[in-house]
């Protein structure tokens, strides 16, 4: 595969981090098929996102195929894959970004909600990978980027979300082993820094953006991370410059998968 002009599927690609990834990849010259649900999901404010994204793409002189589909449903995944193949004749990469993240302990999470979180966050990447891997193998290679979370190593009040993202990290590594000789690279990107605005993050503060990101530790750039920062790393992982990278975890932010968070910045010492 060449370094640019790939056909990329992006789940949850119409709002928040996924939206930034869709725009970023389109700007790099990739043919993007992005999909998500237009109805609001549990713990998220994301809804009716496709018209706004379509307008943003047009304003920037970019294009992408936008669809409504549920990543947890195999029939919807098949419909997205079929549409991409019909339009472009191949699929070179997947970005598994779709996720829901309600807060709560195991006592706060009923069985139906447990099933839904796992269906979207873990079964979704499984269904996407299972549907596309045969095409990648026939084509001689490909790339899968899974959007993980620092919660995958366990965080308080995020029991089932943590379990689903921990499972995704393990699935990523297992697939990296399984398909390395097919020249298919599987890597994980961890958003971090505490300031990335998404439907999930806003949903956790009742949709009030003024309550979001206060006291965030930020990043080595001296600011909070953004969706564009995540999109830039995804773009790198799909590029020829990353052709040897598989089974990696790239933390975009502040050590989210290494026992973070970053401690507060020390107060300036009096002279």
Residues found in the chain: 271
DSSP count for the chain of H helices, then E strands: 8, 7
- 3-state SS record for 171-203: HHHHHHHHCHHHCEEEEEEEECCCCCCCHHHHH
Quick check: 152 and 194 in contact, CB under 8 A?
Answer: no
Q: Which residue has the tokens 């699929």?
A: 91
CA distances from 68 to 38, 88, 117, 137, 170 (A): 7, 19, 19, 27, 28
Degrees to nearest 5, angle at CA 160 with 254 and 229 = 30
Assess whether the previous peptide bond of 261 is cis (omega < 30° from 0). yes
CA distance 37 to 11: 10
Rounded to a whole number of angstroms, the CA Rg of the chain reads 18
Told to judge if 177 belongs to the known catalytic residues of this protein, a careful annotator would answer: no
Point out the catalytic residue in the list 161, 163, 189, 198.
161
- Catalytic residue positions? 161
């Amino acid at each position: 595969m060449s370094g640019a002009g790939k056909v990329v599927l992006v789940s949850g690609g119409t709002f928040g981090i996924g939206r930034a990834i869709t725009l970023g990849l389109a700007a790099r010259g990739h043919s993007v098929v992005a999909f998500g649900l237009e109805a609001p999901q549990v713990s998220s404010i994301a809804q009716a996102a496709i018209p706004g994204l379509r307008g943003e793409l047009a304003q920037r002189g970019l294009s992408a195929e936008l669809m409504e589909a549920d990543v947890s449903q195999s029939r919807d995944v098949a419909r997205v894959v079929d549409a991409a193949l019909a339009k472009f004749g191949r699929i070179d990469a997947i970005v598994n970004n779709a996720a829901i993240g309600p807060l709560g302990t195991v006592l706060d999470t009923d069985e139906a909600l447990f099933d839904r979180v796992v269906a979207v966050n873990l079964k979704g990447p499984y269904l996407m990978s299972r549907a596309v891997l045969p095409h990648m193998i026939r084509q001689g290679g490909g790339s899968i980027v899974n959007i993980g979370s620092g919660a995958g190593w366990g965080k308080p009040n995020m029991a089932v979300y943590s379990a689903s993202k921990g499972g995704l990290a393990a699935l990523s590594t297992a697939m990296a082993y399984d398909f390395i000789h097919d020249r298919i690279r599987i890597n994980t990107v961890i958003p971090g820094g505490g300031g990335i605005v998404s439907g999930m993050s806003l949903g956790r503060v009742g949709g009030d953006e003024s309550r979001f990101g206060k006291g965030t530790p930020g990043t080595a750039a001296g600011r909070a991370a953004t969706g564009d920062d995540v999109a830039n790393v995804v773009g790198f992982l799909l590029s020829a410059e990353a052709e040897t990278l598989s089974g990696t975890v790239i933390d975009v932010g502040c050590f989210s998968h290494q026992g973070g968070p970053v401690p507060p910045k020390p107060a300036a010492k009096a002279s």
